[in-house]
Every structure is written in C-alpha cells, then in structure tokens.
Chain A
Amino acid sequence: MDRMAEFLAMGNYGGYVWPTYILAAVILVGLAIQSRRWLRNEERAVRAMEAEAPHRRAAAASGSARGETAR
C-alpha cells in the first residue's frame, strides 16, 4: 500500500506527472474513437444512398473520372 502511495505521489510531482499521462490518453483515445465513428457514419451514409437508388451507382462512378468519388 505504501509503495502504491509512493508511486502515485511521484516524489511530490504527481500533480504534474499524472495529468500529463491522463491528458495524453484522453486525447489519443478520443481522437481514435472519433475517427473510427466518423468512418462508420460515412460508410453507413454511402450504403444507405446506394440502397435507396441502385442506379445512382452509375452516376457516382461517372464522377470517379475526376478521381475523387469512387472507392
């Protein structure tokens, strides 16, 4: 228990060391989750549009000549 308390105290720098690691975790994990969720949403949106009107696939494919719309 004492060793744990000592570890958490970080030689009285705990108030600076732990926020550093917690902030890093929050930022990195948060950005990863947000990116993943964004990708899922876009995948769902594109799938829904394709399902709604399958002939639209042709229209989207014609846009791919500009090299930016096709998967």
Chain B
Amino acid sequence: MIQRLANPARFNRLAGRTMPWLAWGAALCIGAALWLALAVSPADYQQGEAVRIMYVHVPAAWMALVAYAFVALASAGGLVWKHPLAHVAAQAAAPVGAAFTFLCLVTGSLWGKPMWGTWWVWDARLTSVLVLFFLYLGFIALTAAFDEPQRGERAAAILALVGVVNVPVIKFSVDWWNTLHQPASVMKMSGPAIHPSMLWPLLLMALGFTLYFGAVVLVRMKALLLARRARAMAMAQVHRAAPAAAEPGSAHG
C-alpha cells in the first residue's frame, strides 16, 4: 500500500477520492460532539460547567501527540527508506500538529485559570507540551531554512526524530513528577473511567479531529507536490533559456 503510493499520480487520485469522505466525516463527528458536549452532557460535580473545556482540550492534546508521531514516522520513512512522499507528508502534517498543540496549550490555560487559579505553571506536563510546540515550530522553520529544499527536509526530519524523546516525557510526566495536571483519567487499565455521557462527546470529538487531520494533511500534501512541480518547471525554464548563465561564475568570485 505504502509502496504503491510512491507514484504521485496514483497518490493524487487516491487523495482526491478520500479527501471528501474525511472532510464530511470530520464535520459530522465534530458537529455531533459539539451538541453532546454543550447541550447533552452533564456538568461535573466538582468543576461545574467548566468541565466542557475538556471536550476540546483533551482531544487537541491527543492530536498534538498523534500528529507528532505521524511527523516522526514520516520523517523516518523519508530518511531511511527514501519514500518520495514521506517528507511531503511530514511537512504537510507539521503545521496541523502545531495548530492542535497551540489549541491544547491555550484551552489548558483557559481551564487552568478557573480550576487551579492560574493561567500557567512551569510544571512537567505543561512545559513538555510547550517544548512539543517549539519542536513543531523548529521543524517548520528548518524545512524553509535552506536554499536547497532537500537539505531543509533532511534537517527537519532529523529534528523530528530527535524530538521523539519528548513524546513519552509528555505522556508520563504526570506520573514521574508531581504536577498540578491530573494524571490520565479517561482510559485506565481497567477500562474507561468516566461516565458514558462524558466519554461519548470526548471520543466523537477525537474521531472528528483525527478525520480533520487526515483531510487537511491530504490537501497540504497535494499543494506541496504541486509547489515542487512548479519549482521544477521554473528551473527547467531557466536552464533552457540561459544555459550559459546557469554555469557557475569564475572561481575567484
């Protein structure tokens, strides 16, 4: 499957066919989740109505990690197996992951203020998620930092792989250190630990965000492939128009 996708024409056809399903699925899931989250699910006995922030914050946090895993896997695919679409996939996904991470951080702040009495604390969970956000920004900056796009994508891919150590740090930060952030409480080894009336909007929102991620990444991959094609065409034109000018200048430049 992944090998078959190496052909960009085939990828484009498949992406064009898949994208509308992902987009409509995302809209449907998020719409249903919004209704359940805002109108149907009960207020929390401790947190009152503020608990509704959870239905955005927690799925955004999951997506921040899922998207990073995607970027790292795609980067590995590009560095190790040299799959032609791998770096494109990583570059398409990074801004989406950064957006989810940003959403997670800000909604966490909006939840922290009424519940903890502070917008921000430098504790392990919050700080490691902030590091994740900077990893995304670094990745995006590196892809654009070189004249030669291939060098940029390699450098960014290496950063993405090094940054993978941060993922388990985020996951287990609430267990390893004393933090203000509560430990994992949706899924425990014994099964779901929250009531179905709260679990459903949460899972539907997470599914909707995942489908949204898929749809937007496909659109961005197509755009990136076209941008590369335009660049190749422009370079071919320059070389044809002025072959002499394309030669390197005198050695003592």
A residues adjacent to B (C-beta < 8 A): 10-14, 16-17, 19-21, 23-24, 27-28, 31-32, 35-36, 38-39, 41-43, 45-46, 49-50, 53, 56, 59-60, 62-64, 67-71
Contact = CB atoms under 8 A, between A and B. Distances in A.
Lowest 3 A-B CB distances belong to which pairs?
Answer: A59-B236, A42-B226, A67-B84
Interface residues of B, number: 46
B229 A17 contact: no
B102 interface: yes
Given A31-B95, A31-B96, A68-B8, 18 more contacts: A11-B43, A11-B48, A12-B48, A16-B114, A20-B52, A20-B53, A21-B34, A23-B103, A27-B103, A28-B99, A32-B212, A38-B220, A39-B220, A56-B233, A59-B240, A69-B229, A69-B232, A71-B229
- The CB with the most chain B CB atoms within 10 A, among A13, A21, A43, is that of A13
13 contacts: A10-B49, A12-B48, A19-B110, A20-B52, A21-B34, A24-B107, A31-B216, A39-B222, A42-B226, A43-B226, A59-B236, A60-B236, A69-B232
SS class, residues of chain A in contact with chain B: helix
B237 A56 contact: yes
Contacts of B212: 28, 32
A11 B229 contact: no
B84 A68 contact: yes
A21 to B, nearest CB: 6
What is the interface of chain B mostly: helix, strand, loop, or mixed? helix
B99 A27 contact: yes
A23 B106 contact: yes
Contact of A17 (B50, B220, B228, B236): B50
A59 to B, nearest CB: 4
Contact of A46 (B6, B53, B95, B229): B229
Interface string B219-234: 1101101111110111
Contact of A13 (B48, B95, B107): B48
Interface in B199-239: 212, 215-216, 219-220, 222-223, 225-230, 232-234, 236-237
B111 A35 contact: no
Given A10-B52, A31-B95, A53-B237, A71 B114 contact: no
B230 A20 contact: no
A36 to B, nearest CB: 6
A27 to B, nearest CB: 5
Contacts of B43: 11
Contacts of B56: 20-21, 24
Given A11-B43, A42-B223, A70-B8, A60 B111 contact: no
Interface in B48-68: 48-50, 52-53, 56-57, 60
